[in-house]
Every structure is written in C-alpha cells, then in structure tokens.
Amino acid sequence: MRRAIFPGSFDPLTNGHLDVISRSAPLFDEMIVAVLNNAEKHPMFTVEERCEMIRDVLPSVETNGCKLFVESFTGLTAEFARRSGATAIVRGIRAVSDYEYELRMALMNRRLEPEIETVFLMAGEEYSYVSSTLMKQVFELGGRVEGLIPEIVEARMREKLGTQDD
C-alpha cells in the first residue's frame, strides 16, 4: 500500500491545497491531510476547526480511488510520516522561493527518515500566487477571495471575523 501525507497549517484551506491533493492522490492508495498544530503561527482557526473544514470539503475532491484522511499533529513532519506508515510527503511548490525552502526541509526529512521520499508538485498556474497567509490578509482587508478558497471556508472566515456577505 502506498500512503502519503500532505502536511501544512491549512489556515485557511485554499483551492491551491485542493489542487495539490487532487493531482497527487492518484499516485497513492491513501493520503493523510496532516494539519500542523503550531500555535506560534497565530492561526485564524483552531486545529479542530481546520480539520473539520477540510473534512467538509474533501468529499468534493476527485481522488481516483485514493482514500483521504485528516489528522492533526505536532512536532516533526518526518516523525509524523513514519508513525503514520507513510512512504511519501507531498509538498506543493508555487515559486522558486518555495523550492529553496522546501528543498531544505526535504533534505532534513530525508536525514531524519531516509525511507520516506518527498514528492514535489508544481502549483497549478491559477493558484501559483495563492497562499493561506495572502488569503487571510486579502479577506481581512475586505478583498474578494472567491474562487481561491472553498465556499465553506470563506463562510467560516466571515463567521470568524463577523463580516457579512456582500
């Protein structure tokens, strides 16, 4: 069985994340969307809220038979991958700056867990500039994010910030 993890903070989940999930899923039998619990990032949503939103959205993702799961974790990604029985860590890359960071992380993960490979997927062109941080900033300043984050997530952001739909 081929199991992968797709780790991230997912605060909030974006359509770019969903694109990486749907394009990488056919490579594996199972994939765990691994939600990092890192309070130092000052998240908009609790880890439980992020997991719930991801679970709500995942049924709409085409997976070609890959089973998707959602779990939260703390600590090292490589250790979580090992404990989960994963053989791969999936990472999306948007730009050269992402690659430099992700390469360092992949090399460290390989040092920690040599039997686990990191698989990089280039972001879809329409999501190459989308990040969770940017989506939060744009949303908090009143900008439009439709088409860049799932509708369910946008509604939860509106609830969280107490804003109304225009």
Please name the CATH architecture into which domain 3-161 falls.
Answer: 3-Layer(aba) Sandwich (3.40)
How large is the average pLDDT for residues 44-66?
95
How large is the average pLDDT for residues 108-116?
98
User: What confidence score (pLDDT) does residue 164 get?
Assistant: 58
Q: Would you say the pTM of this structure is higher than 0.85?
A: yes
Choosing from 41, 55, 104, 158, which is the catalytic residue?
41
Q: Is 94 a catalytic residue?
A: yes
User: DSSP class of residue 75?
Assistant: S
User: What confidence score (pLDDT) does residue 142 get?
Assistant: 93
User: What confidence score (pLDDT) does residue 74 get?
Assistant: 95
> What is the tens place of the pLDDT at every residue in 74-96?
999 999 999 999 999 999 999 88
pLDDT of residue 26 exceeding 70, the answer is: yes
Do the Cβ atoms of 7 and 44 come closer than 8 Å?
Answer: no
Do the Cβ atoms of 28 and 68 come closer than 8 Å?
Answer: no
Mean of all residue pLDDT scores within the chain: 94
Choosing from 9, 23, 82, 94, which is the catalytic residue?
94
User: What confidence score (pLDDT) does residue 165 get?
Assistant: 56
Q: Is 41 a catalytic residue?
A: yes
CA neighbor of 65 nearest in space, from 29, 119, 24: 29
Choosing from 3, 17, 91, 156, which is the catalytic residue?
17
CA distance 166 to 153: 16
User: What confidence score (pLDDT) does residue 8 get?
Assistant: 96
Q: How many CB atoms lie within 10 A of CB 142?
A: 8
pLDDT more than 90, % of the chain:
87
pLDDT of residue 39 exceeding 80, the answer is: no
How large is the average pLDDT for residues 41-52?
93
pLDDT of residue 38 exceeding 60, the answer is: yes
Choosing from 22, 24, 84, 132, which is the catalytic residue?
132
User: What confidence score (pLDDT) does residue 101 get?
Assistant: 92
